[in-house]
Structure 1
Amino acid sequence: MSDETPTLDKLIGHTPLGRILKKDGIAVEFALIRRAFEAQGKVAPDAKKFQQIGQFSGTHLLKLITPRAEIGQHLLRVQRAAGNEATAVIPSTDARLAPVAKIAFRLLEVEGHATRSLVDHILSPDELSPTVTKAFADVFGDDALAALREGLKLTLPAVTTLPAAEFPIIFLPRPGGGDLQVTPIAPAEAYVRFNDVRERYFRKQEGGAPPISKARWHRQLVTTKQQNISSAVGQRRTRFLATMPRLLDRYSAELHRYVHGGRFPRWRDERVVEAVAGYAALLDRSSGRTSDGYDPIKAYSNADIRRGLDERAGRLIEAARAFVDETLGDLEREYPDKKQLENPDLVSVILNRHWPKQDEFDRARRVLSSDHFKGRLEAERG
């Protein structure tokens, strides 16, 4: 490292700077940061400012949703339910304190050790942490280190107010009755680390290499003063752009559901209910069925009635089969990659509709399960 002091922007930040340090060079790095402040005519941060950085750091930042969240009501600290490692916190101060936050949250790249910030070393100490905290205290003072620790361990006030019409609301049922109003807030760590997810979609395609996945993106400007939300975030929020699939008409939606394991599309010919009723009336007459059961004395059948039954059943079966064949043809054209689909049961196709009354459905199910109708199905198949 040269004797010339790098500019401040080369020494502080929230992303790795590529300045690889040796263990005994950490104090020198903090000294360079202090010297860079002074070289720009700025006063080096004192204990009060470091205490504010710790105090206004949290796991969930309400200002990521709206910049109108009030100070003191703008962040949460939520510890993970499992594991001993502390949940990552993000600073949420005004722009004036951003350079101080970039010291405390500067990722130190030390040979042979994990890349971690001063805040990480305070919240989740490891074997390098005593060296890091001592180096910081040697440069900025023991009081600055103590103030930062104190701020990070302060109990934050409970969030009791939210800006109107800014936050999503979900109502969940309470176990004892009534509803529970819930406002989902994503952890700030997910927002910051989203860049790691996004980066692979923007890699340059190399010849002969597997194709790189692409995606559509949506950028949303939350505020023109993004530093007032957090020095750890950029100017815009970036999200995957989710677009609604094309709206399917009812028949197309039924085709889609069927090829994915759902019920066969509904046959909506309004004449079917009337045709089944006519067939049922003639079948009941020939068998002597009454509202009280069967009366052999009232049974009446002749060649005309038997021919009429066969014709009515035949027309119903023929129409149902035509609908099935037409639908299977539509499925083959719409979903050519799907394996060949089996013909559905014709009785189920006929019954799968709206029946005005329950007794009409019961009657239809009875006559379509009769020996006569089963016989006509067998004859039609033959």
Structure 2
Amino acid sequence: MQKTPKGKASAEPAPPGAPGFTLNYTDPGAPIGVADIAGLYGRIREALAKPATAKKSEASDQAEAGVVEAGAGEGAPETSPKAFADNSEAFGAVTRFSGTHILKIHSKNARDHVLDFPTVTNTNRPRRKFPSMNAGWGMYAKIAYQPIAVLGHDGSNSLIDHITTPNELSEQFLASFAAAFSQESLDAIIEGTRCAKTGVSELHFENLPIVYLPDGQGGEMQVTPLSPLEAMGNFKSAVLKKGESHKSPLTNQEISSKMQNISVAIGGDRSRFRAIVPNAMRSFEAAVWRYARGGRVPAIPGEEITDLLDTLQAFHARREKHSDGTDGVRYTADTEKRFRGLAESILGIAKEWIDDVNQRAVELNPEFSATRTDMRQLLLASWRGARGRNPDERNAAREAVRRALNGLVFMRTMNGAAS
């Protein structure tokens, strides 16, 4: 029988009673009779036995393809075949690490990367599950997930299906498996289906969660955020194909079926989104970007505005002390004139800054509409004085600047400029 690429169904399923068939995750092949259920898994295990004289490469190719042949083949020496091992650990891992949602991982040692949400679809059936464990145990997953169709009965079901959604034939399938392998392996599979997988508590520091979904054509595509592996639907046509001129952000890449690459049940080409990481914005660019979308006006950068505000505060304090009659404080008409001139300069800097920022905001967001800016708030946010002092001293200095901005001279200058 022609070998089949790993993870793929046979192109021509064998008819009932044929000497061989191909293990896979989706194609049930030809149906079997009810009477054949009892010996089904015994036949599978026997067919997976490797002739003692078979070359390692041939046996490896056969295992990789999942091709089950009932016999050593014409002309093969009559030696005792090497039985396909019963491995309860491997069978248990199949269901422990199976789920409806699987995180892409970079470490083969991950133990917490599978989620299982048994939400039914609009067809009133559970979502399809995918195994994601050690790729070396892939054949055990194929055995457990191989769908089997039975003559006279609708649909097809795997061993996993018979455990999670049993029907009138399920007991016969479970008994067949236990007889061919062991009750211990069957119990391990059943126990694995009972594991709660509704949350991922931790991931290895090397892991980067990436999620794949079926693409509706037998392949898969990378997508985020996390969605059911079976929930692809019309995603491609509805989201990606927006017209002939739309350039699809997809690229194909051949990926192995190792656990790190999502699931032993999915191999071959995969479609991934091409992602271009934008350059990191500098603090000013980020502040303007936020402002263009409804945020506050960015603070005026540099030390100059802080020095001017500290001088403004000194003028204001001197004026207050003179008004209070403090001895030795000289405050003349020339001092008042210089005070007002400084206030005008500060307001000019603030206005020029706002105009520049508004122009930049429109470039980033054509729908941006500038609103009235509180000059005093902007200037106080731009003050960066009293560095190196303790918090109490810095707060006191900031409060002094705030009083100067709310003082009579600055308010009159600001209102006069506005009028």
Q: Taking structure 1 as the reference length, what is the TM-score of the superposition?
A: 0.65
Output the amino acid matched with 2:310. Answer: A
Cα gap change, 1:22 to 1:202, in 2 (>3 Å): farther
> Aligned residue for 2:200?
none
**Rounded Cα–Cα distance in structure 2 between residues aligned with 1:300 and 1:269:** 32
- The equivalent position to 1:334 in structure 2, one of 339, 361, 364, is 364
- Is the aligned partner of 1:345 residue 2:374? yes
> Aligned residue for 1:324?
354
Q: Which runs of 5+ in 1 are unaligned?
A: 156-165, 170-182
**Rounded Cα–Cα distance in structure 2 between residues aligned with 1:307 and 1:230:** 78
- The equivalent position to 1:305 in structure 2, one of 335, 345, 361, is 335
**Offset at residue 322 of structure 1 (A):** 1.0
- The equivalent position to 1:5 in structure 2, one of 1, 4, 18, is 18
- The equivalent position to 1:255 in structure 2, one of 263, 283, 288, is 288
Cα gap change, 1:331 to 1:6, in 2 (>3 Å): farther
**Offset at residue 37 of structure 1 (A):** 3.6
CA contact (8 A) 2:292 2:368 kept: no
Cα gap change, 1:280 to 1:332, in 2 (>3 Å): same
CA contact (8 A) 2:104 2:209 kept: no
**Rounded Cα–Cα distance in structure 2 between residues aligned with 1:28 and 1:299:** 108
**Rounded Cα–Cα distance in structure 2 between residues aligned with 1:185 and 1:207:** 26
> Aligned residue for 1:179?
none
- Is the aligned partner of 1:17 residue 2:27? yes
* Structure 1 or 2: more helix by fraction: 1
Cα gap change, 1:51 to 1:41, in 2 (>3 Å): farther
- Is the aligned partner of 1:377 residue 2:414? yes
- Is the aligned partner of 1:41 residue 2:72? yes
> Aligned residue for 2:172?
134
Instruction: Tell me which moved more, 232-241 or 319-328.
Output: 232-241
Cα gap change, 1:316 to 1:207, in 2 (>3 Å): closer
Output the amino acid matched with 1:49. Answer: D
- Is the aligned partner of 1:55 residue 2:92? yes
> Aligned residue for 1:119?
160
**Offset at residue 262 of structure 1 (A):** 3.6
Q: Taking structure 2 as the reference length, what is the TM-score of the superposition?
A: 0.60
> Aligned residue for 2:312?
279
**Rounded Cα–Cα distance in structure 2 between residues aligned with 1:311 and 1:121:** 88
Alignment of 1:91-110 (within 5 A): 92=133, 95=136, 98-108=138-148
Q: Deviations over 1:93-124 (max 9, x none)?
A: 665x64453232113468986764212322x2
Output the amino acid matched with 1:328. Answer: N
**Offset at residue 250 of structure 1 (A):** 2.6
**Offset at residue 318 of structure 1 (A):** 1.5
Output the amino acid matched with 1:120. Answer: D
Cα gap change, 1:339 to 1:150, in 2 (>3 Å): same
CA contact (8 A) 2:105 2:210 kept: no
CA contact (8 A) 2:241 2:248 kept: no
**Offset at residue 365 of structure 1 (A):** 0.9
**Rounded Cα–Cα distance in structure 1 between residues aligned with 2:212 and 2:93:** 13
Q: Which runs of 5+ in 2 are unaligned?
A: 1-13, 48-66, 74-79, 120-125, 193-202, 215-219, 222-226, 388-393
Q: Number of residues paired by the alignment?
A: 342
Output the amino acid matched with 1:366. Answer: R
Q: What RMSD in Å do the two structures reach over aligned CA positions? A: 5.5
- The equivalent position to 1:264 in structure 2, one of 287, 291, 297, is 297
**Rounded Cα–Cα distance in structure 1 between residues aligned with 2:128 and 2:378:** 56
Cα gap change, 1:21 to 1:202, in 2 (>3 Å): farther
**Offset at residue 350 of structure 1 (A):** 1.2
Q: Deviations over 1:120-164 (max 9, x none)?
A: 322x243x1x403414645x6735473442232569xxxxxxxxx
**Rounded Cα–Cα distance in structure 2 between residues aligned with 1:135 and 1:154:** 17
**Offset at residue 259 of structure 1 (A):** 2.8
Output the amino acid matched with 1:315. Answer: S
Output the amino acid matched with 1:132. Answer: S
